[in-house]
Amino acid sequence: MQMNSNEKIERLETVGVVLRPDSPQLKDYFLKFKAFLDSKKITTLLDKRSAKMIGTSGVDFYEMCKRSDILISIGGDGTLISATRRSIDYQIPILGVNMGKLGFLTDYRADEINDAIESIFRGDYRIDLRMVMDIEAMLSGYKGEFRVINDLVIRHKKAKMVHIRLYIDGVLVNKYYGDGLIISTPTGATGYNLSAGGPIVFPYAKNFIFTPICPHSLTQRPLVLPVNFDIRLSVDDDDCMALLDGQDSFTLNSHDEVRISMSQSGAKMVHHADRNFFAVISEKLGWGNKVQ
């Protein structure tokens, strides 16, 4: 199974940087990193929103994507996912620096950021291709198209029980009744999906994972599907919410429909050359630890 794109960054002349929102304490860290890039004759572009947060100048995010050879996300997995979703059309590699706690995707530590740049010059890294989910929403008088890296979550705005219908190749397969439904990519399997009792799926697989949230039936169980089915979802209730990667949302009302499919554009994430998924989950989830 292909785990990386075998792609390399042809040149490293301009680096675009995104900082975790509401984290002005990252200013000193960014300035030290910029000084290091300056010493390497590399131009640094800072996202305008990040720049405003730390009181300096920046550029529009999409302009930054056009001009950069790589993006650096400084924060946590949420910061990385947000930057990846917005930059997907530019097919630019993105490297995540973990300033948070868990960090499934941001495998470079805060003290490794300079070494990460040096490793790119040496070619000692890899670019992983992560599956992206395309969302096509047919709403009353409106059609929306969205992209998801981790998961799509459907639930009621007022925390009520919700009815969700799942159609596969035009056949009604299930009618979920409960607090909601998580539709996850393999990348997102270790997120909300895992917390809700869903399975861990190898991140380079091409699957969708359907995990009910507190279903009103003991027979409802997570479902893993390959991406080559025609998959549609609809709700029987008004005032439902579709949450995209925990960051954006739109409203779903009765008989509104959502189609999901695999995007033709994968997300390019830069990782350590020796990164091993099984070692990561063993460490992050504490597998194999002795009982004290």
Give 122-131 pLDDT, tens digit per residue. 999 999 999 9
Helix (H/G/I), strand (E/B), else coil: 74: strand
φ and ψ of 283, to 5 deg? -70, -50
Please spell the DSSP secondary structure of 152-210, one letter per residue: EEEEETTS--EEEEEEETTEEEEEEEEEEEEEE-TGGGGTHHHHTTPPP--TTS-EEEE
pLDDT at position 2: 47
User: How far is residue 265's CA from residue 108's CA, in Å, rounded to a whole number?
Assistant: 24
* 275-289 pLDDT, tens digit each: 888 888 888 788 876
Residues contacting 292, CB < 8 A, separation 6+: none
User: How far is residue 17's CA from residue 270's CA, in Å, rounded to a whole number?
Assistant: 14
pLDDT at position 142: 83
Under the banding of pLDDT at 50, 70 and 90, the label for residue 292 is very low
* 61-80 pLDDT, tens digit each: 999 999 999 999 999 999 99
* 180-228 pLDDT, tens digit each: 999 999 999 999 999 999 999 999 999 999 999 999 988 899 999 999 9
Q: Over the chain, what is the mean pLDDT?
A: 93
CA distances from 163 to 80, 112, 210, 229 (A): 32, 47, 14, 22
CA distances from 283 to 72, 223, 270, 278 (A): 24, 26, 20, 9
Model confidence at 100: pLDDT above 80: no
Q: What angle in degrees, to the nearest 10, is found between the helix axes of 113-122 and 27-39?
A: 30
> Can you give the pTM of this predicted structure?
0.91
CB 114 within 8 A of CB 136: no
pLDDT at position 275: 86
Render the burial of 62-94: b for 16+ CB within 10 Å, e for the rest: eebbeebbbbbbbbbbbbbbbbbbbbbebebbb
Decide if 38 is catalytic. Answer: no
Model confidence at 290: pLDDT above 60: no
Spatial CA neighbour of 85 closest among 56, 51, 55, 62: 62
Place of tokens 């097919």: 91
Hey, what domains does the chain have and what are their CATH numbers?
14-131+266-284 (3.40.50.10330), 133-262 (2.60.200.30)
Model confidence at 3: pLDDT above 60: no
How many percent of the chain have pLDDT more than 90? 84
Task: From the candidates 47, 77, 128, 245, give the one annotated as an active-site residue.
Answer: 77
* 263-273 pLDDT, tens digit each: 998 999 999 99
